[in-house]
Amino acid sequence: MTLFNGFAWTRAAAYASSKLAAAGTVFLGFLALTAGLDLVEMAELTREFPLWAFVYGYAVLFAVVVDAALWKLKRSPAKAAFTLLLYILGGVLPFLAWYPSQWLWVLFGGFYGVACSLTFLGAALIYRAWWPYSGAAAVLLLAASLYVSMADFTVTEQWSENRSADGYQAKFDYFHGKKEIPIELERGQTLFYRIDWRISNGGGYGYGLKGEGVSSTNDVQDDGEWMGYQVDEPSTVRIVVTGRRAQGEFAIAWRITGDGGGNHRNERAVTEL
């Protein structure tokens, strides 16, 4: 009985590790191919695209369901064909659900979905024969995936910055990644801000705002270039600026109203750009 339990445990561990290692292979492979081995882009993809749920959730669960459905079939060309067809279907299904009436997106996304699903199938079969090395691979690939998604790979060169009570300025010879500028707000206050970029080498740039309990406001200020966001509770909001191999400078000016409703009696001074 002990030998049997040990054998069953080994088979279960080999099975689970093959699926997790295959998921890690697809996860990192997709990021590398999509982002061109750019660690900044790879990290951003893990935060913007539901890749964790798609690969480590849906793909693993779908693979288990397929194995359970075909478990009683003997190994044969017919079983291999059924497995292949099911994996192809599994690669397309999420896009049918996300874009039910947009066939162009279904075809475009389904192509990548099928490529990922077939890669998952092939990797799982290979890892299944590599036990116990597949266990180590599963752990290392998961650790690498977590590291890519959580680490900050921002690179700056000759970065100089200056912050005041109502503004922030930065100059740089190279900026690839993101920079967050925190601003403290009280309950009901509204932050209005604007950004002026001066990029000299054609590099990319962008910006956004993140924080808990943040909602946009329809109160357009002055020439319409000011963006307004109100907070429901005291919190720290962050203006996030991003650069893509950029050289130049940017300046941010902000002002904070005390009631969040467009009344500017408590408005702070503004640093003009």
Residues 138 and 172 in one domain: no
Within a domain: residue 46?
yes
Per-residue pLDDT tens digits of the chain, which is 273 residues long: 444 455 577 888 888 999 999 999 999 999 988 888 889 888 888 877 788 888 888 899 999 999 888 888 888 888 888 889 999 988 888 888 878 778 888 888 888 889 999 999 999 999 988 888 889 999 999 999 999 988 889 999 999 999 998 899 999 999 999 999 999 888 888 888 999 999 998 889 988 887 765 555 544 444 557 878 888 777 888 899 999 999 999 999 998 887 544 444 344 333 333
Domain boundary residue, one of 107, 134, 150: 150
Residues 181 and 124 in one domain: no
Quick one: DSSP state of residue 28? H
Residues 6 or more apart in contact with residue 12 via CB below 8 angstroms = none
Residues 92 and 115 in one domain: yes
Residues 27 and 88 in one domain: yes
Within a domain: residue 262?
no
Domain that holds residue 71: 2-150
Domain boundary residue, one of 86, 117, 150: 150
Q: How many domains does the chain have?
A: 2
Within a domain: residue 19?
yes
Task: State the pTM of this model.
Answer: 0.72
pLDDT value of position 5: 53
Within a domain: residue 263?
no
Residues 27 and 137 in one domain: yes
Residues 146 and 168 in one domain: no
Residues 110 and 193 in one domain: no
Residues 18 and 32 in one domain: yes
Residues 215 and 131 in one domain: no
pLDDT value of position 72: 81
Residues 129 and 216 in one domain: no
CA 73 to chain centre: 39
Question: Which residue in 238, 220, 239 sits closest to 228, CA to CA?
Answer: 220
Residues 159 and 146 in one domain: no
Within a domain: residue 266?
no
pLDDT value of position 117: 92
Within a domain: residue 265?
no
Task: For residues 172 and 125, give the distance between their C-alpha atoms in angstroms, rounded to a whole number.
Answer: 49
**How deeply is 267 buried, as exposed, middle or buried, from its count of CB atoms within 10 A (0-12, 13-18, 19+)?**
middle
pLDDT value of position 10: 82
Within a domain: residue 30?
yes
Match 């909001």 to its residue by tokens. 237
pLDDT value of position 215: 55
Residues 105 and 146 in one domain: yes
pLDDT value of position 155: 93
Three-class SS of residue 264? coil
pLDDT value of position 12: 85
Within a domain: residue 16?
yes
**CATH code of the domain in which 177 resides:** 2.60.120
Domain boundary residue, one of 97, 116, 150: 150
pLDDT value of position 188: 82
